[in-house]
Amino acid sequence: MTTADRIPLLVLGLGNVLCEDDGAGVAALHQLHREWDLPDGVLALDGGTLGLALLPLVERAEIVVLVDAIRGDGPPGTRLRIEGADVAPAVYERLSPHQIGVADLLGGAALLGRYPATVVLLGVVPASTDLGLGCTPDVAAAIPGLVDDVVAELAALGRPATRASVTTGPPRRVDDAALALGL
Amino acid sequence: MTHVVVDPVTRIEGHLRIEAEIEAGQVTSAWSSSTMFRGIELILQGRDPRDAWAFTQRICGVCTTVHAIASVRAVEDAIGATPPPNARVLRNLIMAAQCVQDHVIHFYHLHALDWVDVVSALSADPAATATLAQSISDWPESSPTYFTGVKARLQAFVDRGQLGPFGNAYWGHAAYRLPPEANLLAVAHYLAALEWQRDFIKLHAILGGKNPHLQSFLVGGMATPVDPNSQAALNIHTIAALRSLIARAKDFVTKVYLPDLLAIASFYKDWAGYGAGVGNYLVYGEYPMTEGKNAPKYIPSGVIRNRDLSKVEAFDDSKITEQIKHSWYKYDGGDDQGLHPAVGETHPTYTGPKPPYDLLDTSAKYSWLKSPRYDGQPMEVGPLARMLVAYVSGHERVKELVGGALGALGVGPEALFSTLGRVAARGIETQVLVEKISDWVDELADNMGRGDLRIHDSDRWDPSSWPKDSSGAGFHEAPRGALGHWVHVKDGKIARYQCVVPSTWNAGPRDAAEQAGPYESALLGTPVVDPEQPLEILRTVHSFDPCMACGVHVVDTKGRELARVKVR
């Protein structure tokens, strides 16, 4: 893939895996890759806390699905879906540790006139974003549902995923966002 | 008296909160607090020291390479590994590139909005902006048509009501002083810097495989193969790509960043009189020019005390201690002592108020940051410290650029001890590094040409080759300042790990002797025209490049919230 190619549908798992539930989006992304085969036109990446560094990807995408921890109503583990014009305010006010990076990312794309046509945020309410490896039990229990949400979103967008034929064995490699920057 | 509270929004590396008392329009007292516990040290205990860098680089999702470098150096010091020249040069390249990129982003995307009024740019005359741009630089994108386009884009953005990154600021504040044309110029270059950093990021990808979580570090060297004839290695093609990226970066820094910095600074010269801080400066030094522990460094190490520019003391790491009288920790031997990081302790004991709260009790413990001290004194770290130490040490290029900047602004060296001095030092350092970085590419190419393709010291890879019990320290000059990691390796595992990060030096609380930290000192005397919009406090705090974004709300002395404005 060259840096000039359009990306029909970009899925980004976001968060810091060292900060407990903040890494929920990244955890969901890895599970998605383990259990599902993604159709052509869907690029699903571990965006970590790259923030602005993801701009070269986001500005080439027609549709962006962000998977992330979101502060919101409901107990920890509650799943939320935010779409369109509501996404930008949400990342300013409701995302946790890396929120500024994601806000910069979306703001930067808008400022350059390259905001994707569709942006959807699929999130889970965190219990704790303190330093620590792995999600808390309530949020860990919500990860399979979050993966289902992503799969449902892909189907609704006309690019359904299919169950991976092999779900055992060594984990499949998850492309890192920066590797996909065409370098 | 008004009590101003700058409160946290983000936890990228730990919340930062500033409380300040304002009397007669000036800050009379300030307290800096981190409200998030950062216990990476505890996560590392018992792990393989060769993996420590991969964890530490995620301490902060934004400045990742810096912890990786400090960590591999600490472990190498402990186990006795010596990276070969190619690894040293590659690390220099990666570190300098990180610093250049961070400084440009800091200036345009994190700090400029403290000085630039975006809304005022909407009333600028594009033709006059073009004249201004052409008078300060021969950067080609400076036509009236170009600025008309930028203005239209900004107007459309504002009309849509989605200000995005420009949404939370004090537009129209009396402390903004740039004419509309200078504001439009700065907004144009805010966008240009956004484009530029997309390009420059490729350098990390070439050098390290990915960014920001580089995969290329290894204890003992680097994992990046170097081979002029291999497709899968740093080769003659990647050398050419590096040269072209660096040339573009140099062009941008020389023709956009530095001219903008000087142009903006010329309207804010009074800020050379605010924000001085503790007046002590500490630099570990960076960019080793040869192999080995005592290699000379391109940016020299040293200590300056009491703003005395007549001499630089040699840095001695045994003089570093961390104190906790005002920090939410306990020391086994009592809270009034200072401990060297090699024997440092991390026993969290939170005694602060239960959130949400209005004010901290700053007479007691009030921060998750410890108070690092050098020879018992608070020290400022970062670009200003580095440029001062280099200037006094006789670094030729630094002397030229510092002299040039002081001359252009018509101010003396004492102006460096200030908020404006900090901003200028960051720009000067960027220029120095973006010029130097191509030497390291040449060195790498020369080594390849001579057939020296070594990239890793594998003699010390196997734990059976290590001492049973050893300690090491890794020092690095991160973009924000002096960073140190200390590791104790016992029976092949990490027995103790301590990090002292730049923002702890700068943002730490008062110590056992009640000496204020650098942020706390720098805020004294800062004018605050409108306590509900403490823009001036942000200018000084942001001049240090804090790794934490801040929200601001202002309370009166009774603790009632008067206003809340989120700022980055």
Helices B383-392 and B419-450, packing angle to 10 deg: 70
> Tell me, what's the pLDDT at B59?
64
pLDDT above 70 (res B64): no
Burial (0-12, 13-18, 19+ Cβ within 10 Å), A72? middle
Q: Which amino acid is at B537?
A: I
| Helix, strand, coil percentages in chain B from 3-state DSSP, rounded to 5 | 45, 15, 40
> Tell me, what's the pLDDT at A49?
74
Question: B202 φ, ψ to 5°?
Answer: -60, -30
Report how far residue B394's alpha carbon sits from residue B399's, in angstroms, rounded to the nearest whole number: 7
CA atoms within 13 A on the CB side of B305: 9
Interchain CB distance below 8 Å, A88 and B164: yes
The count of CB pairs under 8 A between chains A and B is: 110
A164 falls within a domain? no
pLDDT, tens digit, for every residue of B181-197?
Answer: 999 999 999 999 988 98
Mean pLDDT score across all residues of chain A = 81
A173 falls within a domain? no
Give a three-class secondary structure readout of B221-258.
Answer: EECCCECCCCCCCECHHHHHHHHHHHHHHHHHHHHHHH
The answer to whether B234 touches B240, Cβ cutoff 8 Å, is no
pLDDT-based confidence at B233, cuts 50/70/90? confident
pLDDT above 50 (res A171): no
Q: Vertex A172, ends A170 and A175: CA angle to 5°?
A: 150
DSSP B261-295: HHHHHTT-GGGGSS--TT--EEE--EEESSSSTT-
Report how far residue A117's alpha carbon sits from residue A140's, in angstroms, rounded to the nearest whole number: 31
Nearest to A56 among B61, B166, B198 (CB): B198
CA distance B168 to chain A (A): 10
A169 falls within a domain? no
A176 falls within a domain? no
CA atoms within 13 A on the CB side of B23: 5
Domains contained in chain B, CATH given: 2-317+377-566 (1.10.645.10)
CA distance A131 to chain B (A): 7
Instruction: Locate all alpha helices (DSSP H) within A36-98, ordered by sequence.
Output: 55-58, 87-93
Interchain CB distance below 8 Å, A52 and B58: no
Mode of pairing for the β-strands spanning B17-23 and B26-33? antiparallel
CATH number at residue A78: 3.40.50.1450
The answer to whether B436 touches B96, Cβ cutoff 8 Å, is yes
* Selected residue with higher pLDDT from B6 and B291: B291
Query: Quick one: how many helices (H) and strands (E) in chain B?
Result: 16, 17
pLDDT above 60 (res B472): yes
Residue B45 contacts A where some CB pair is shorter than 8 Å: no
* Selected residue with higher pLDDT from A178 and B147: B147
Mean pLDDT score across all residues of chain B = 88
Nearest to B10 among A53, A99, A106 (CB): A99
CA distance A136 to chain B (A): 16
pLDDT, tens digit, for every residue of B493-548?
Answer: 999 999 898 989 999 999 999 999 999 999 999 999 988 888 899 899 989 988 64
Report how far residue A67's alpha carbon sits from residue A111's, in angstroms, rounded to the nearest whole number: 23
A57 falls within a domain? yes
CA distance B260 to chain A (A): 20
Report how far residue B308's alpha carbon sits from residue B520's, in angstroms, rounded to the nearest whole number: 21
DSSP A142-177: HHHHHHHHHHHHHHHTT---EE-S--SSSPPPPPBT
The answer to whether B567 touches B142, Cβ cutoff 8 Å, is no
B453: left (phi over 0), alpha (psi -120 to 50) or beta: alpha
Q: Which residue of A has its CA nearest to B214?
A: A178
Nearest to A183 among B10, B165, B202 (CB): B202
pLDDT-based confidence at B165, cuts 50/70/90? low
Q: Which residue of B has its CA nearest to A56?
A: B198
A73 falls within a domain? yes
> Tell me, what's the pLDDT at B168?
61
Q: What number is the average pLDDT over the span A129-149?
A: 91
Domain hosting residue A132, numbered range: 7-83+95-159
> Tell me, what's the pLDDT at B559?
29
Work out whether the CA dihedral B343, B346, B349, B352 comes out positive or negative.
positive
β-bridge partners, B476: B483
pLDDT, tens digit, for every residue of B3-53?
Answer: 777 654 233 334 678 899 999 999 999 999 887 666 677 778 899 999 888
Work out whether the CA dihedral B362, B365, B367, B373 comes out positive or negative.
positive
> Tell me, what's the pLDDT at A172?
47
A38 falls within a domain? yes
C-beta pairs of B292-296 under 8 Å, 24+ apart in sequence: B292/B82, B293/B77
Active site residues of B: 13, 60, 63, 67, 480, 503, 547, 550
**Structure-block tokens of residue A172:** 């499949």
Nearest to B38 among A48, A131, A177 (CB): A131
pLDDT, tens digit, for every residue of A14-29?
Answer: 887 777 888 899 899 9
pLDDT, tens digit, for every residue of B346-371?
Answer: 888 999 998 778 788 999 999 988 99
The answer to whether B171 touches B117, Cβ cutoff 8 Å, is yes
Q: CA of A148: how far to CAs of A151, A153, B301, in Å?
A: 5, 8, 54
**Structure-block tokens of residue A150:** 């992503």
pLDDT above 70 (res B240): yes
> Tell me, what's the pLDDT at B211?
45
Interchain CB distance below 8 Å, B157 and A110: yes
Q: Which residue of A has its CA nearest to B43?
A: A132
pLDDT-based confidence at B60, cuts 50/70/90? low
Mode of pairing for the β-strands spanning B286-288 and B2-8? unpaired
> For chain A, how many structural domains are there in total?
1
Interchain CB distance below 8 Å, B12 and A101: yes
> Tell me, what's the pLDDT at A180?
42
Which residues of A are less than 8 Å from B206 in CB distance? 183
Report how far residue A9's alpha carbon sits from residue B341's, in angstroms, rounded to the nearest whole number: 48
> Tell me, what's the pLDDT at B486?
96
Report how far residue B454's alpha carbon sits from residue B460's, in angstroms, rounded to the nearest whole number: 15
